[in-house]
Amino acid sequence: MRAVSLGPRGWLRAVASSLGSMASGPAQEVRLGIVRTLEESEVVSPATVEREWPQHFPACCPPTDASATQGEVYRFVANDPVDPKDMVSYLEEGKAKGRDCQRAGLSTLVDLDHAREVQILLPTQRGKRIARAMLSVEHGKIKQTGQPGHYTLWVRAKYHAQAHTLFKIVA
């Protein structure tokens, strides 16, 4: 793949072109290269760009209205210490349909009392432990989704494989 260097008009054309083929892998790579080229005003080869988000994330995910992670989040986990299997998203497990971007993220709660309230209600989570992660902006994006108190966490690619190490058992 050749390097691209685009002026503002070229960038608009390229975005329009990439939106038409967002579903395929290579198109995402091209789009990523374009964005970096525009932001950094330099010529970048997409092949050398480190992927910001894990490969299984759909296009445009996380959503643009997600916020940078900053603060503590809680997650129900089956293992103590927390294991990579505790960090498998709904999408990776291949469960259900729809809302792919949300399914690619991890369910978290931002309040321990709320987490406890939720846990005793849910037969599928009741035997689990509650783990806490202290996140900073570099770790990813987060957005309140579904019912109040529930947040979807998207961990950046560089932390994804080790996401379990961010979490420590608290309850």
Partner 1 sequence: MNPLWEIERAEFFSSHQFAGLRLTDVLVEFDGPQIGIWEDKSKAIQFFGVLADEDKHASRWILSLTDPVELDALYLGAVSVRDVLLKELVLVIDVADDLPRNVWRSTPASIDEAFLPARHALLPKLVREAKRPAVPDAGSSYSIRIGHYPAGRETKPEHMLEFGDLSKLLAVKQRLWTAAGQVVAGNKGRDDGTVPKAVARNTKLYASGARDGSFVVQVVPADAEMFAKAGEQISRVVFASDDPDRLPIVLSSLRRRMTSAYTAYLRILEKGKLSVLTRWSEGAFYVGAGAARRIRHAVSDAKFGEKDFEEISVRGHFLSYTMSKDNPDKRRFRFYDQDQETEYEGEVLPNTRLPDITVGTSANYKVTILTHVDVNGAETHLLEALSEATTTDLSLTPPPFGRS
Kindly state whether residue 114 participates in binding partner 1, applying the rule CB under 8 A: yes
Of 72, 69, 81, nearest to 133 by C-alpha is 72
User: Restricting to residues 19-78, which ones interact with partner 1 according to CB under 8 A?
Assistant: 76
Q: How far apart are CA 117 and CA 137, in angstroms?
A: 28
Task: Output 65 or 93, the one with its CB closest to partner 1.
Answer: 93
Kindly state whether residue 106 participates in binding partner 1, applying the rule CB under 8 A: yes
Name residues whose C-beta falls within 8 Å of residue 161's C-beta, 6 or more positions apart in sequence.
84
Task: Output 114 or 143, the one with its CB closest to partner 1.
Answer: 114
Residue in 101, 107, 131, 154 binding partner 1, rule: CB under 8 A: 107
What is the three-class DSSP state of 152?
Answer: strand
Kindly state whether residue 16 participates in binding partner 1, applying the rule CB under 8 A: no
Go through 21-45 and write b for each residue having 16 or more CB atoms within 10 A of its CB, e for each that does not: eeeeeebbbbbbbbbbbbeeeeebe
Q: How far apart are CA 156 and CA 52, in angstroms?
A: 6
Task: Output 44 or 106, the one with its CB closest to partner 1.
Answer: 106
The least distance separating partner 1 from the CB of residue 116, rounded to whole angstroms, comes to 9
Task: Output 16 or 121, the one with its CB closest to partner 1.
Answer: 121
Residue in 13, 56, 126, 168 binding partner 1, rule: CB under 8 A: 126
Residue in 30, 63, 125, 159 binding partner 1, rule: CB under 8 A: 125
Residue in 32, 61, 82, 118 binding partner 1, rule: CB under 8 A: 118
| CB under 8 A, 24+ apart: contacts of 112-116 | 112/74, 112/170, 112/171, 114/149, 115/74, 115/76, 115/171, 116/171
Q: If you search the block for the tokens 């996401």, which residue do you land on?
A: 163
Positions in the binding site for partner 1 (CB under 8 A) = 76, 89-90, 93-98, 103, 106-107, 109, 111, 114, 117-118, 120-126, 146-150
